[in-house]
Every structure is written in C-alpha cells, then in structure tokens.
Amino acid sequence: MDSNSSFNAEQLAAIETTAKHVLVLAGAGTGKTTTIVGRCNHLIRSGVPEREILLITFTRRAAHEIRSRIRGPEGKRSLVTASTFHSWAMRLIRNNPNVFKLESPSLIDRDDVITLLQRYRKTHASQNLPKARDLADFHSLLVNTRLPAEEAAKLAGIDEDKLSQYTEASKFYVDFKRSRNYIDYDDVLERVAEEIARPAIAKAIGKRFSHVMIDEMQDTNPLQYLIVDALAPHVNLFCVGDDAQSIYGFRGADFESIHAFTSRYPDAVVLKLQENFRSTQEILDVSNWLLERSPLEYDKELRAARGAGQKPILREFEDQWSQADYVAETIVTSFCTEQRWANNMVLVRSGYSARAVESEFLSRKIPHVLIGGQSLFGAKHVKDVMALLRIYANRWDELAWMRYLQLWKGIGEVTAERIFRQLALGAEDSVGRGRNTETPLLDMVRDAKASDSAGWTEPLLRCLTASSKPDELLGAVLDAMEKPMAKIYRNDHWDARRRDFTYIRQLAKKHRTVHAFVDEYSLNPVYEKQLEKKGETDLVKIITIHSAKGLEAQRCFVVDVARGTFPQPGLTEKEAEEERRVLYVALTRAADELHITRAERGWTASGSSKGDEAYFLDGLPLELVAYVTEPESDPDAGIEIRF
DNA sequence: GGGGGACACCTTTTT
DNA sequence: GGTGTCCCCC
C-alpha cells in the first residue's frame, strides 16, 4: 500500500497534487479511503509534520478506520489528528475556555434535550405543542442550516401557523442551556464556528494545522462549512466526496454545495476517481440504473475494473421471518466452503429491520455483530448511573439531578424539582453568608437524609465523597446503586443490564478525569454489541446503511427493500431522492454477490405497482438481476422434486 | 402528586 | 419489543 504502484493514475494525481485546495470527487468503491491515507502518507514523506495534519470525518467509525491505516514512525501511534468535526471542536472548547467563552460546560445528548423539551411541553400543556422530538429536530435544523426560521420550517414541512410554537420552544431551550452552562452537539460546532470567524483565531488554528482533509465532503452542512470557510485562507484543504452518496440531508447537509466548491474556493482544483475496484460490473449495472432513474443529475457511471461476475439476486418473501431465514441459510451454506463469516454483511435501513435477522442469527448461532443500533450509553440503566457521575462532575447539572431523583419510589417530576431547587437555593445561601462553601452540597444532603424515606441520599453521599478517579468513582456508585437498581429493574432484564456495567468500568479506566469520561460517553458512545464481540473478528455484520458507508463485503444482503418501507410513504421528492442515494450506498457495498430482498407479496417487475407509493425497483429491467419469488407467492415456480 | 395500566405509534439515519 | 402518552385511581 505504500508504494506508488498500488495506486492508479487517478488516485496518484490526487495524492501528489500540489494545488492549495483540492476536491476529489470519488464514486463508490473508487478507493476513497486508500487515497486519503495515501495523501496523508505522501504529505508526511514530503516533510509535513504529522501533527500539522487534521483529518475530519463524519462518523467515529470512519475516524477510527483511517487512524488505524495511517502508520506512525516505527509502528508508533501517528500524530495525525483524525476525528469527527464534533470531537475536534469539543477538544478545542475544553482546552481554550477563554477563547470559546465556556468554562467547563456540560455536554448534553439528544436524550437530555428531549427530556427537557418534554418537561417544557408539560408546562405548556394547554397549547398542544408538537412532540418533543420534533421540537428538538427543528431547533437542530435551524442551527445546522443557518436558515431563517421560515425557510427552515419549509424545509421541515412545518405549517406556518405552527411555527411560533417551534420558535418559542427553541428560545426556551437556548435560554435554559445558557443559564445552566449546558452545550449540545450543535452548540459545539456553533461555538467554534462563531469564534473561528475571528481572523486571529482562524490564523492560530491554521498555524497548528497546515493541512486539513475532509472525508465525505457531501455531508458537510452549512454550520460545518462556516468552519471550513474560515480555515480555508490559512490551510490547505483536501476534500473528498461523492454527491451520489449524500445521505445526511436530515442533518442539514446539501450535496449541491460540493458542486459550488470551485466558486467557493477559487484556487481549488477538482479531480475525479471513476474506476471502481470493489464490485463486479453486474452489481454496478443495477446501481447505475438506480441513479439514472433519478430526476437529479449525478454525472456518474461507475465502471468495474474487475469486470464481470454474477447477477445480483432479487428475492421476495412472504414475511420477514422467511426473509431472515433465507439470509441465514445463504450465509451458513457459504460458510461451508468459505470458512469465513466476515465475508457477509447485512444492510438495513433502520435498526428496526435488523431485529428479525438478528434473532434468526441468534437461534442459528451465527457469529455476528450489530452496528448502528442503540448505544450502550443510551440504555436506561447506564444513563441512571451516569447521572450520578454527571452530578459529580458538575454539581448543578439539573438534568442529571432530575433523572437521578426520579429513580426513587415516591419521587416524580414535581418532587424531584422541589428537592433540586431547595438544594440549589441552600447552596446559594451559604455562599451568600460567606460560610465555608467547600462542601455545602454534602452538608445539605446529609441534612436531608433524616427526612429521606425514598433512599436517594445514601448513594449520592457515597458518590460525592468518592475518589475522583473515574473507575473508582464508578465502582463506588455501582456499589451503592446495585441494590436499588435491582429493585427498579426487577422485571426488566436486570441480569442482562447488570452485565453492561463491567464494560462501562473498563471504559472508565481509560480516562483521567470524570469530566473527560462523561464527555466521552456522549461523543463516543460504545456500542453494546461491539463490546461483547471485542476480540472476535470473524463475524457477520448487521449494519445500518448510514453506518456502512465506506465499508464493503464480498457478499451483501440488502433487506426490506419493500414498497411502503423503503422509501417510506409520504416523503417529499427531495427526501425520496435522499432515500434513493441511501439505497445506492447499500448496493455499492457489495463486491461479488448482492442479494436484494423484500418481505412482502406482490412486487411487480415493470412498474404496475399495487400500492401508490414510490418504489425504487419499479421498472427494473429483469435482465439486470436474477429474480426469484418465494414458492408461497407463486406455487408453480417453487416446485422442486427430490429423488 | 405519584404510579400503574391501557393505548397508540412506532422506528429513520449520526454527532 | 419498545417507548411515549393519556387517563384514572391511590
């Protein structure tokens, strides 16, 4: 991989370019990651200090992947910074409180935001407000797109007469965060974007990082663009993207912006990677067909460097169980000859779709890993425990207090809020009176113990008096919470939940401060199923398509490609086209064997659909695939006589 | 004010 | 199978 002979001419041109700013348009499977890594190594060889290279990705997974492929000197860890926009920005904020005007803020995640907005909704119950989730999503869209509220509303399909409810909620939310020193994911970027607009700041950052590389440029949203724009005069940009793989529109990304790259950065060159090394031509034929059917212009026609192979298989099933059975059966059969589970990848549109497949794998004992589902830190019981750690890190983290207090029998929202207010007021008082304020909270909790029949004071005291080493603190907290949690979760898989804490403790060991650990759990959640599989490498991947971008496997199953499911009904054209790109990403993951399946009766080849919903495979020329119906759907087609 | 039961409506996708 | 929401009883 190090010698230039392993790159083709297109890749080499990108790797060795001397242009200040570069945009590489790289179709699926054209060696995008290889090129980024190659560019990185090339820069280092040409004398650019490793620490001057900043490599930005959109998912943690991609950051990790790239980091592992950049070699440091003599096998040492490379000094190249490879991280997501968010974790890079968060580190800047933490390390420069004066510049970013935030002193140890508490980072809150989406669940916290929703909890908070649920509370807001209750206090405005008469107004019949939109769901907390919708309020949160709208606010986030507003921040990420930088649009005026009216236009963002149009984008999100919000009625004009409802808009004031959304903007009022946003206002409440922003005020709440400011008064409590909270920041959310969007604030992390926004804070950096605002300060980096000052030339002195941008210049200082440019001094540290001379080369900024951005992966998946098409997913960059306007907020992130502000950061890139500010850096552009001071750094060399190397951006890689593919408009056909833009699948983060819901986060405010607009792939049209990469078309405007050269007008944005006049001294930029645009290079193309068009030769696909991953897939057989048959797989690309179906993928190309899908894109051609789009009303949008992608100017893309992938060519297979590898040549011909076998046609993709299109199958339909009665229900999701027979579909899952087919996937499992095919994999087991292949394992007999290949002796390798990891040749297989199952791609799902949503975590929900993964369930039937996973349960089939479990019953057949097929070693697998589920990626993109719920994060371990998203689990209720983990959040309960983390609430105590959050209080430790930031004594007046109201959301953490509310969560913790409401665990206890007899304490609901109202009582929890009362207790919190009393403590906060008491602390203020003792500051006002100039008392020794070292431990006012501790004293007050001790005082409260006398009247505490619910039991909340005891674990809290253990927590507040514990060691400041994350793993020791966590140990103390778990110790104190074990019994009460066993009771709370007695009918709710307590044994399975309890096991998770072992992993959390291992993770805590890696951090020096509680603050760092609490941050990490928001920005870098660890996925439960992945942790369990640590060490095992030969696994079938069940993965959401969004998480699978950049990955490949010899044999891929794209399941639940069904009318009314993928795409879901009722999407705007813009949204539906994004779904088309999602499917495109899925299809182009396959190297040799592609199985497209759907679990429903009645798929028709030539567009004479039964439902009114859009369906991407309508009109698919049957010669592009091997099409098989399940026996139940067409009894005659399935007759098999055994001898 | 808390809690349990019934109910609907799910599920996008990531930081 | 899971979770948010509403309603009614304690």
- What tens digit of pLDDT does each residue of A323-344 get? 888 999 999 999 999 999 999 9
DSSP annotation of A76:
P
Look up residue A347 and give its two tokens.
């791609």
pLDDT band with cut points at 50, 70 and 90 for residue A376: low
Angle of helix A514-523 versus helix A470-488 axis, rounded to 10: 60
- Is the pLDDT score of A240 beyond 50? yes
Nearest nucleotide, C1' to the C-alpha of A412?
Answer: B2
Burial A211-246 (b: 16+ CB within 10 A, else e): bbbbbbbbbbbbbbbbbbbbbbebbbbbbbbbbbbb
- Pseudo-torsion of CA A231, A237, A242, A243, nearest 10°? 40
Measured in angstroms, what separates residue A544's CA from nucleotide B12's C1'? Answer: 10
Measured in angstroms, what separates residue A485's CA from nucleotide C10's C1'? Answer: 24
Nearest nucleotide, C1' to the C-alpha of A122?
Answer: C5
Pick from A443, A376, A381: nearest CA to A407: A381
Measured in angstroms, what separates residue A528's CA from nucleotide C1's C1'? Answer: 18
- Ranked by mean pLDDT, the top range of A82-86, A257-261, A503-507, A572-576 is A82-86
Higher pLDDT, residue A110 or A342: A342
A393 contacts A518 by C-beta, under 8 angstroms:
yes
Nearest nucleotide, C1' to the C-alpha of A493?
Answer: C1
Please tell me the distance from the alpha carbon of residue A307 to that of residue A616, in angstroms, as a whole number: 26
Please tell me the distance from the alpha carbon of residue A603 to that of residue A348, in angstroms, as a whole number: 19
pLDDT of the residue at A154: 83
Q: Which long-range contacts (CB under 8 A, 24 or more apart) does A1-10 make?
A: A1/A34, A1/A37, A1/A38, A2/A41, A7/A31, A7/A34, A7/A35, A7/A38, A8/A275, A10/A271, A10/A272, A10/A273, A10/A274, A10/A275
Average pLDDT for chain A: 84
Please tell me the distance from the alpha carbon of residue A421 to that of residue A444, in angstroms, as a whole number: 12
Please tell me the distance from the alpha carbon of residue A173 to that of residue A167, in angstroms, as a whole number: 10
Q: Which of the nucleotides in strand C have any atom less than 7 Å away from a protein CB atom?
A: 2-5
pLDDT band with cut points at 50, 70 and 90 for residue A311: very high
pLDDT of the residue at A501: 82
- Is the pLDDT score of A594 beyond 90? yes
Q: Is A407 left (phi over 0), alpha (psi -120 to 50) or beta?
A: alpha
* Strand C: residues with CB below 7 A: A 114, 118, 121, 131-132, 380, 493
Radius of gyration over alpha carbons of chain A, in Å?
27
- Is the pLDDT score of A74 beyond 90? no
- Pseudo-torsion of CA A181, A182, A186, A192, nearest 10°? 30
Please tell me the distance from the alpha carbon of residue A232 to that of residue A238, in angstroms, as a whole number: 10
pLDDT of the residue at A191: 95
Mean pLDDT in residue range A175-194:
92
pLDDT of the residue at A617: 84
A129 contacts A121 by C-beta, under 8 angstroms:
yes
| Bond before A567 cis per omega within 30 degrees | yes
Q: Given the DSSP bridges, would you call strands A553-558 and A368-371 parallel, antiparallel or unpaired?
A: unpaired
Measured in angstroms, what separates residue A567's CA from nucleotide B5's C1'? Answer: 35
Taking the alpha carbons at both ends of chain A, their separation in whole angstroms is: 52
Nearest nucleotide, C1' to the C-alpha of A406?
Answer: B2
Mean pLDDT in residue range A363-389:
79
Q: Which residues touch A58 (CB under 8 Å, ≥6 apart)? A: A84, A85, A215, A216, A219, A248
C-alpha A236 chain-centroid distance: 27
Measured in angstroms, what separates residue A140's CA from nucleotide B9's C1'? Answer: 23
E-strand ranges in A167-210 read 182-183
pLDDT band with cut points at 50, 70 and 90 for residue A609: very low
Measured in angstroms, what separates residue A123's CA from nucleotide B1's C1'? Answer: 15
Measured in angstroms, what separates residue A125's CA from nucleotide B6's C1'? Answer: 21
Higher pLDDT, residue A368 or A30: A30
Task: Determine what percent of chain A falls in helix, strand and coil, rounding each to the nearest 5.
Answer: 55, 10, 35
Nearest nucleotide, C1' to the C-alpha of A117?
Answer: C4
In a 10 Å sphere around its CB, with 0-12 CB exposed, 13-18 middle and 19+ buried, how is residue A46 labelled?
exposed
Look up residue A124 and give its two tokens.
């405005």
